[in-house]
């Protein structure tokens, strides 16, 4: 312990882990310590840089509260949230791909009938879109009674939570699939928007030379007992930033085309997008009984 060197420090710290900790704690801490030490050695980190990183994390903590978690944003900018989501939700049966939840989900959105509009405030020059489709199981059978929460930003690039000028729950709704597994609602064409960059996340974007923009997308959360819940987003095929999303969350299978609506329709555009859900793992089913 007393002859610490830059070469034996990793072994010293991992050996100091208590014998009594759970195996998962040991696995995570051993790997974390090894990777952090290797990182410091690899970049030959200076004391000043280490201190700057600690101060950066302090600022991230200072700006965080129950409504804003800057650490999630930082993990998004580093591609960590999308990576963890892919590790924890591996596609195994052809089910729809998931992607990041983001910080703007709001519980208990208005419960609306099939086909209803989620628009509570009109914005000039915005386009309306009827979004519809089916929710199927992995064998292609429609699933009735799937709850679908949807949310999106307004044409000014802000979610209701960020904009006191928008009514609460603007552009949010909860729908249920019918006997044919169908869902439908009226929304606005989603606009690209910058992720919050007024805090430590913004500092990190600057350090990395990245812009904060996300491509236009609509968020979806699907759930029904007996099926694995799905948190995902549909991306407008014609939006900017599809190839440079600031949080790396775009997947080809989640891109949908907003087509011109047929004449006589009551929206400007239509988007048809089907989801596939897989059955929940057996242990979840037993636990739910």
Stretch of 3-11, 18-26, 101-109, 111-119 contacting Fe ion, by CB under 5 A: 101-109
Residue 112 CA to residue 133 CA, distance in Å, equals 16
Between 137 and 152, name the residue whose CB sits nearer to ligand BEZ.
152
Strand 275-277 and strand 128-137: the pairing is parallel
102 binds Fe ion (CB under 5 A): yes
Q: What is the binding site for ligand BEZ (CB under 6 A)?
A: 73, 76, 100, 102-104, 195, 214, 247
Choose the contact partner of 76 out of ligand BEZ, Fe ion, none; CB within 5 to 8 A by kind: ligand BEZ
Nearest-approach distance from CB 219 to ligand BEZ, in angstroms: 6
- Angle at Cα 21 formed by Cα 19 and Cα 23, nearest 5°? 100
Please provide the DSSP assignment of 193-235 as one string. Answer: EEPP-SSHHHHHHHHHT---EE--EEEEEEE-TTB--EEEEEE
Choose the contact partner of 137 out of Fe ion, ligand BEZ, none; CB within 5 to 8 A by kind: none
Nearest-approach distance from CB 79 to ligand BEZ, in angstroms: 11
Could you tell me which of 289, 276, 167, 194 has the C-alpha nearest to residue 232? Answer: 276
Nearest-approach distance from CB 135 to ligand BEZ, in angstroms: 21
Between 73 and 205, name the residue whose CB sits nearer to ligand BEZ.
73
Residue bearing tokens 């979806």: 220
The answer to whether the beta carbons of residues 81 and 72 sit under 8 Å apart is yes
By CB under 5 A, how many residues form the interface with Fe ion? 1
Nearest-approach distance from CB 76 to ligand BEZ, in angstroms: 4
Between 148 and 195, name the residue whose CB sits nearer to ligand BEZ.
195
Choose the contact partner of 95 out of Fe ion, ligand BEZ, none; CB within 5 to 8 A by kind: none
Nearest-approach distance from CB 256 to ligand BEZ, in angstroms: 16
Could you tell me which of 210, 142, 132, 205 has the C-alpha nearest to residue 175? Answer: 132
């Amino acid at each position: 312990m007393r002859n610490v060197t830059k070469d034996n420090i990793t072994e010293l710290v991992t050996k100091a882990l208590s014998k009594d900790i759970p195996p998962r704690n040991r696995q995570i801490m051993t790997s974390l310590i090894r990777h952090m030490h290797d990182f410091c050695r690899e970049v030959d980190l200076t004391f000043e840089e280490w201190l700057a990183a600690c101060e950066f994390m302090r600022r991230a903590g200072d700006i965080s509260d129950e409504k804003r978690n800057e650490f999630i944003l930082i993990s998004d900018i580093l591609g960590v949230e999308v990576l963890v989501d892919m590790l924890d939700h591996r596609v195994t049966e052809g089910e729809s791909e998931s992607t990041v939840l983001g910080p703007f989900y709001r519980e208990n959105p208005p419960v609306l009938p099939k086909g209803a509009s989620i628009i509570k405030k009109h914005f000039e020059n915005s386009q309306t879109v009827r979004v519809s489709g089916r929710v199927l199981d992995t064998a292609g059978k429609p699933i009735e009674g799937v709850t679908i929460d949807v949310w999106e930003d307004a044409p000014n690039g802000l979610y209701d939570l960020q904009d006191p000028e928008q009514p609460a729950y603007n552009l949010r709704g909860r729908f249920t699939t019918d006997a044919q597994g169908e869902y439908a609602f009226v929304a606005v064409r989603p606009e690209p928007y910058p992720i919050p960059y007024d805090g430590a996340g913004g500092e990190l974007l600057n350090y990395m030379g990245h812009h904060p923009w996300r491509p236009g997308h609509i968020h979806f959360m699907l759930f029904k007992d007996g099926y694995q819940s799905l948190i995902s987003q549909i991306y407008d095929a014609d939006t900017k930033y599809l190839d440079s999303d600031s949080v790396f969350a775009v997947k080809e299978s989640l891109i949908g085309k907003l087509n011109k609506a047929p004449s006589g329709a009551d929206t400007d555009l239509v988007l048809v997008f089907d989801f596939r859900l897989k059955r929940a793992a057996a242990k979840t089913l037993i636990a739910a009984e």
